[in-house]
Amino acid sequence: MLKVRIAVLVSGGGTNLQALIDAQKQRKLRSGEIVLVLSNNANAYALTRARENGIKTEVVVKTERDNEVFEREVIRVLKENKIDFIVLAGFMSILSENFTSLYKNRIINIHPSLIPSFCGKGYYGIKVHEAALKYGVKVTGATVHFVNEIPDGGEIILQKSVPVKNGDTPEILQRRVMERAEWIILPRACEKVCKDIQREMKEEKEKENL
């Protein structure tokens, strides 16, 4: 069966991208293949990770262009590369309904909290962990969810909890959440969704052959 063609969208260091690349090498991610890494930041280290692993890279910088123009260019690149499935892995740009509706149930995101806690507009990166510590929660974690027009508002696919410990700083907690949750559930969610997409593709092909 043909593998699902995956694009990973990134903005920074690419630790979650690395988790996906490692899972692909270990055949934990086998129903899909990362064929493109796209960044809105030309200096993102994630691009280096991709190149070192023989994965095609593209950069679409927002700069002064409006969001509609930016998204149109991203969509052009995705279509050019025949992308079936999109993974947002630290992609610091909120996608509009015009974009997400084109890829319904074909875009997922990893968020560093147990949604619905500490999510939505303004909650990203280290800010999530700062908020969790300020609130005094004893358990946090990560969530993989489908992406729609509402920030962190799509259906949850997988979650994993992580303990908050006395003396944690936002940086220490961020690292623990990455190691014990994000890097584990993102590859699992990718494989799960890729299997579903493969099944849909097979059903569509069978209909065409009737």
Catalytic pick among 49, 111, 129, 176 = 111
> Which sign does the torsion angle of CA 66, 126, 12, 9 carry?
negative
Known active-site residue 111? yes
Cα–Cα distance for residue pair 91/108, rounded to 1 Å: 11
* The two structure tokens encoding residue 93: 């740009």
The residues carrying an active-site annotation are 111
